[in-house]
């Protein structure tokens, strides 16, 4: 039967019959098939396709009119497998009696588990029955599988499948939170749209484990233009699996763009099929990824975002570019040393060349699109009336000095190589009012960029020394 339904969904049967290629949306449970269509005529056509496929594969069907064996005439409302189906409104609905029963069972288990006598222990059979009742609402409750995963984890942890269901099991914090969610089951979350609403926002996401790379996404929320973003993994994140990092990239997208995405239908394009499955089914066997998924679900529910995921090949994923950006000049002083030096001439207002991983000030500019950056490319904004901290790529020193020369209202503290033989040195000396040469830095004084987790190569050689230079504001 499953192969027949797969062929129907692909429209192959319609092609064989000479009809226009179409999909036959239907649900399958054992030998019960529910065929869905927006109109009565469409349902009849879909019914003919399914029956023809069953005939070709030798699957017998009950003839129309067989008592108690199904309905062959199109209906707008029907009770099917414990759910109400309303095609007039396009909804799978939880019957009120079933919702009331589920809330009562969940509240009863919470009261029992949280009593001082039981100390979170409940009967395994009772928990399994509640889990089964929740799962039976999957078509009407999008997050049913997600909200029952913790119940099955508890049952598995106590080995009830081998020991039997007569034992008691101890609920963990996650299972208690899910029980609280089911106990407050309301009309807001007891239905699901049969027909997926139109997409109103699109995002491409990608994560990379290449040394020095990170994560990236491209988000489009019409009528606004496409917004790219790029970030760098921490050392703790980089040791995680690529599946986990792909899922975390989605969370970073939602955390940073949740206000723009509120009340939107978001289509996520993902080049990792495992993560696509997790996002579409809202469940994972990995406890670590399930925890990450809970954080994603919290954002989706809080901001009323409906998200679904589709697969895109890596070579066709534009976010692949952003996730593999490597900035070999991305390094910073360790915060204690930087704070000591930065305030030598008073507090600074903006870190001019930084990243989300090593920005020393709340306001910073980055070289590539990064969430939280005040600007991309510091040369595109005005430096006037700012007190700048400048630790730049050395290839841009000459350009920085020209901008400071042409912007007398700017004050800057520059961390540059002490290098009197360079052509830009006379220009630097004409701008500064004071400076001093730093002693040789130790490895603990440096926060290296993502390209190497050690002191940057130019600073390893003791021939190099850094200097701290102060450029004051000047009369126009």
DSSP 253-280: HHHHHHHHHTT-EEEEEES-HHHHHHHH
SS (H, E, C) 170-199: ECCHHHHHHHHHHHCCCHHHCEEECCCCCC
Strands 446-447 and 434-437: unpaired
Q: Which sign, positive or negative, has the C-alpha torsion 111, 112, 113, 117?
A: positive
Q: What is the pLDDT along the chain (476 residues), one digit of tens a residue?
A: 344 444 444 433 333 333 344 578 777 777 778 888 778 888 888 888 888 888 888 888 877 766 666 667 788 888 887 888 888 888 888 888 888 899 999 999 999 999 988 899 999 999 999 999 999 888 888 888 899 999 999 999 999 988 888 889 999 999 999 999 999 876 456 778 888 889 999 999 999 987 667 899 999 999 988 989 888 887 788 889 999 999 999 999 999 899 999 999 999 999 999 999 999 988 888 989 999 999 999 999 899 899 999 999 999 999 998 888 777 667 788 888 888 888 888 889 999 988 877 888 999 998 877 778 888 889 999 999 999 999 988 889 999 999 999 999 999 999 998 888 889 999 999 999 998 888 777 767 776 554 444 445 555 554 467 889 999 998 87
Report CA-CA distances (Å) from 254 to 41, 140, 301, 320, 376: 41, 25, 11, 18, 21
User: Which CATH superfamily, name and number, covers 201-323?
Assistant: Ribonuclease H-like superfamily/Ribonuclease H (3.30.420.10)
Peptide bond into 466 cis (omega under 30): no
Strands 332-333 and 446-447: antiparallel
DSSP 28-63: EETTEEEE--SSHHHHHHHHHHHHHHHHHTT---PP
CA atoms within 13 A on the CB side of 317: 25
Q: How far is CA 221 from the centre of its chain?
A: 16
Task: Delimit the domains of the chain by residue range.
Answer: 2-74, 96-193, 201-323, 332-471
Residues 6+ apart with CB under 8 A from 442: none
Q: How far apart are CA 459 and CA 457, in angstroms?
A: 5
What pLDDT sits at residue 88? 80
Helical spans, DSSP H, in 207-334: 235-238, 242-261, 273-281, 287-302, 319-323
Say whether pTM exceeds 0.75.
no
Residues 6+ apart with CB under 8 A from 51: 61
Cα-Cα-Cα-Cα dihedral of 49, 53, 58, 63, to 10°? Answer: -10
Are residues 288 and 248 in contact, defined by beta-carbon separation less than 8 angstroms? no
Token digits for 473? 């504001």
Are residues 90 and 65 in contact, defined by beta-carbon separation less than 8 angstroms? no
What pLDDT sits at residue 451? 45
- Level-2 CATH architecture, domain 332-471: 3-Layer(aba) Sandwich (3.40)
């Amino acid at each position: 039967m499953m192969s027949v339904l797969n062929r129907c969904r692909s429209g192959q049967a319609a092609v064989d019959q000479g009809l226009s290629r179409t999909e036959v949306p239907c649900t399958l449970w054992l030998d019960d098939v529910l065929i869905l269509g927006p109109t009565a005529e469409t349902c009849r056509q879909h019914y003919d396709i399914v029956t023809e496929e069953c005939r070709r594969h030798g699957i017998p069907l009950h003839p129309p009119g067989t008592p108690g064996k199904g309905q062959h005439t199109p209906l707008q409302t029907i009770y099917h497998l414990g759910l109400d189906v309303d095609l007039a409104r396009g909804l799978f609905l939880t019957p009120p009696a079933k919702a009331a029963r589920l809330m009562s069972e969940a509240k009863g288990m919470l009261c029992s588990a949280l009593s001082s006598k039981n100390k979170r222990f409940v009967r395994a059979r009772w928990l399994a029955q509640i889990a089964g009742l929740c799962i039976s609402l999957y078509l009407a409750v999008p997050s049913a599988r997600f909200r029952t995963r913790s119940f099955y984890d508890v049952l598995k942890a106590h080995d009830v499948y081998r020991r039997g269901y007569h034992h008691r099991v101890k609920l963990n914090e996650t299972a208690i939170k899910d029980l609280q969610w089911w106990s407050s089951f309301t009309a807001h979350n007891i239905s699901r749209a049969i027909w997926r609403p139109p997409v109103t926002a699109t995002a491409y996401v990608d994560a990379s484990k290449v040394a020095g790379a990170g994560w990236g996404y491209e988000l489009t929320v019409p009528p606004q233009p496409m917004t790219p973003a790029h970030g760098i993994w921490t050392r703790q994140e980089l040791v995680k699996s690529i599946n986990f990092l792909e899922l975390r990239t989605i969370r970073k997208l939602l955390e940073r763009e949740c206000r723009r995405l509120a009340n939107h239908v978001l289509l996520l394009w993902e080049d990792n099929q495992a993560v696509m499955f997790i996002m579409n089914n809202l469940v994972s066997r990995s406890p670590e990824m399930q925890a990450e998924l809970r954080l994603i679900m919290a954002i989706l529910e809080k901001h009323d975002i409906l998200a679904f995921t589709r697969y895109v090949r890596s070579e066709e994923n534009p976010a692949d570019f952003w996730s593999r950006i490597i900035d070999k000049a991305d390094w910073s002083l360790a915060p204690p040393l930087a704070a000591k030096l930065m305030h030598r001439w008073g507090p600074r207002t903006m870190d001019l060349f930084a990243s989300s991983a090593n920005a020393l000030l709340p306001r910073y500019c980055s070289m590539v699109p990064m969430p939280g950056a005040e600007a991309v490319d510091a040369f595109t904004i005005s430096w006037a009336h700012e007190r700048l901290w400048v630790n730049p790529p050395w290839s841009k020193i000459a350009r920085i000095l020209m901008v400071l020369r042409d912007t007398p209202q700017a004050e800057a503290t520059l961390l540059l190589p002490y290098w009197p033989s360079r052509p830009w040195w006379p220009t630097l000396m004409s701008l500064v009012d004071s400076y001093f040469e730093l002693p040789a830095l130790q490895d603990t004084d440096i926060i290296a960029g993502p390209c190497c987790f050690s002191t940057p190569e130019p600073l390893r050689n003791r021939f190099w020394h850094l200097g701290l230079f102060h450029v004051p504001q000047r009369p126009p």
